[in-house]
Amino acid sequence: LQHSLETPFEEARSLPPDAFTSPAILRLEVERIFDREWHCIGRLDEFDEPGKYVTLQIADEAVFAIGDRSAGVRAYANVCRHRSARLLEGRGKAGRIVCPYHGWTYGTDGALVSAPLMAPEFDVSKCRLPQLGVEIWRGWVYVNLDRDAPPLAPRLAAVDEELANYHLEDYRSLFVTEEIWDTNWKCLVENFTEAYHVFVAHPDTIEPALPTRLGTYLPGGEGFYRFTQKKVEGIAFDVDKGAGCLNPRLSDDERHTYPIVGIYPAHLMSVSEDRMFWLALQPQGVGQVRVRWGVAAYPGTIADDRRDEQAAKIKAVLDAVNAEDRGIIEQVFSNMSSQFADSGRLCPLELCLWEFNQYIARKLCGA
Ligand code: FES
Ligand SMILES: [Fe+2]
């Protein structure tokens, strides 16, 4: 890893296989990345009513975020203050958070409101759920295990400017889903950093509309990488292009451009004038990653009475694309344990991958 920090891009190689398979490296990642960085949990519109919640796993920590009347969204450790039972599962809506073990009950503000059959001197008002940092950026909800972490937004200033006209905060969720992939989380991030593989791995799905040759690298920053894909006129990657551009703030150039952005460590998105496809990754050990992903649409691009039908069609297209990637990157991870696996020379089209590797190396080497 140190070596990768010292090598210029022209001579750069991929990370060594151990970086993906070693439990010791994962422990370092937990300590220096997952315990400290901002993690995307999903879209703010998933919390549009008090009590709506989403659970997630940030490395070793089970946490949840929940809509709260006074604060918008709050996040907590998913650990009961009595004897540490898991409070919430999956996603859903809960007016009160009731522990499934002995029924201790918390409000969405984290305060313990009742604890059945406890001795009279037990004072519920002295007990609260451990609260985590929450930040909202452009309609995304991020949580941080470290309540003293510096804010996320300043690290995203350059990408915020690039995306400003898209007004990502206006996009509304069409669907959100979850899958477990048998690969290292970094293999999935790396796959999303480059369009080099598109003409080979996605010849019939992505390549006709968003070809490898129309990708352009843009310099990233401390907290993100980015590149753009131009689309080929007249060929829709998506289904049923609707009424044309409805976002009056986009320039002509922006309307034909898909910005692709990765916010470190593990939030990935591809944006267009009418849709946004996103993934938020949660590592589960070295060889598994929980993938929360979804699509949000710019307002008005899908008629209300056709939302479900369109969501199903768009999901089917993206399921096909994901299946193409998944088959390959699950094998990539499996091959990382081969005695013949080695790091390989990077292609000029893998500049964003190199930036992501530099981020990992910086964090793990403490530079
Ligand atoms: S562990 Fe939650 S009420 Fe006992
Ligand atoms: Fe891909």
Question: Of all atoms in ligand 1, which is nearest to the CA of residue 103?
Answer: 3
- Compute the distance from residue 322 Cα to the ligand 2 centre, in Å: 7
Mean pLDDT, the chain, rounded, equals 95
Residue 367 predicted with pLDDT over 60? no
* pTM: predicted TM-score of the whole model, two decimal places: 0.95
Residue 49 predicted with pLDDT over 80? yes
Distance CA 231, CA 237 (A): 9
Query: How many C-beta neighbours within 10 Å does residue 213 have?
Result: 11
Residue 146 bridge partners (DSSP): none
- Report CA-CA distances (Å) from 336 to 26, 60, 149, 333: 15, 23, 33, 5
Residue that wins the pLDDT comparison between 333 and 240: 333
Ligand 1 in contact with 80 (CB < 6 A)? yes
Confidence of residue 171 (pLDDT cuts 50, 70, 90): very high
User: In this structure, are strands 267-271 and 275-283 parallel, antiparallel, or unpaired?
Assistant: antiparallel
Backbone angles phi, psi at 181, to 5 degrees: -105, 140
What pLDDT sits at residue 98? Answer: 98
Question: Of all atoms in ligand 1, which is nearest to the CA of residue 115?
Answer: 3
Nearest residue CA, atom 1 of ligand 1? 83
Average pLDDT of the residues in 199-228: 95
- Compute the distance from residue 304 Cα to the ligand 2 centre, in Å: 30
Average pLDDT of the residues in 57-75: 94
Q: Which tokens go with 261?
A: 């952005």
CB-based contacts of 234, cutoff 8 Å, min separation 6: none
Ligand 1 in contact with 85 (CB < 6 A)? yes
Residue type at position 362: R
> With pLDDT > 90 as the criterion, what percentage of the chain qualifies?
89
What pLDDT sits at residue 235? Answer: 80
- Residue-wise pLDDT for 238-293, tens only, equals 665 655 668 889 999 999 999 999 999 999 999 999 999 999 999 999 999 999 99
Question: Of all atoms in ligand 1, which is nearest to the CA of residue 87?
Answer: 2
For the CA atoms of the chain, what is the radius of gyration? 21
Distance CA 229, CA 209 (A): 10
Low-confidence winner among 169-173, 183-187, 297-301, 345-349 (lowest mean pLDDT): 297-301
Residue 33 DSSP one-character state? I
